[in-house]
Amino acid sequence: MESRASADSEFEKENVRMRLNLRRIQERLLLPFTLMAAACLLLPACSGERTDLTATQAWILEPSSEGISTGGLTVHNRTNEARVLQHILAADFRQAEIRTKEGAGSTSGLRPSIIVEADRTTELPPDGMIFLLEGPERSLHAGDETLLALHFDDGKAIFVNVEIRASPPSSSKSEL
């Protein structure tokens, strides 16, 4: 029985030492692990890699009483190849498409697309085209936000938070 009590006592001492050691280990490793986690999160941003396509200055007009809206944004292509914006999707609209100002599509019957030249910043849509958004799925007013997905020819998509506006921004060069 005495050996059992001795073993239990020894176990308790070891357990206390392990708890104390565990606390010391945690205290000593907390800072290095925190720094390592921060480095892992920041590494892509600091590695010199650039996101090849980004969009800024995105806006959509408040839908009309017929449920139709247009919008615009600026796309930055930091690749050495042109990219073709093939289609768009809008989170809060049943339909979103690129259209020529003259009608639903080009004369060849192909869906219009927009070329974003290599290593350029382009205001979209360019002259002669519009983003047409129809059938809002919720009430959208100036100051609200929604999400657009821009799908490119290389199979990649970028997602953009878009501000709903009462009127186009005054710096917009495109006539929408």
Supply the pLDDT for residue 26. 59
| Owning domain of residue 148 | 53-165
Q: What is the pLDDT of residue 48?
A: 41
Helices (H), the chain: 2-46
pLDDT for residue 74: 92
What DSSP state is assigned to residue 67? S
Q: Are residues 146 and 61 in the same domain?
A: yes
Determine the residue type at 135: G
Nearest to 89 by CA among 133, 54, 53: 133
Within-domain flag for 174: no
Q: What is the pLDDT of residue 71?
A: 92
Domain count of the fold of the chain: 2
Q: Give pTM, 2 decimals.
A: 0.64
- Domain assignment of residue 122, yes or no: yes
Report the C-alpha gap between 127 and 174 in whole angstroms.
6
Which ranges constitute the DSSP H helices of 47-169? none
Q: What is the pLDDT of residue 16?
A: 61
Nearest CA to 92 among 130, 143, 140, 39?
Answer: 140
Identify the pLDDT of residue 23: 60
Q: What are phi and psi of 93, to 5 degrees?
A: -130, 145
Tell me which residues of the chain have a pLDDT lower than 70.
1-8, 11, 13-51, 103-110, 171-176
| CA–CA distance, 24 with 108 (Å, rounded to integer) | 73
Residue 172 in any domain: the answer is no
SS3 33: helix
**Residue 68 and residue 44 in one domain:** no
Q: For the domain that residue 108 is a member of, what is the CATH number?
A: 2.60.40.1890
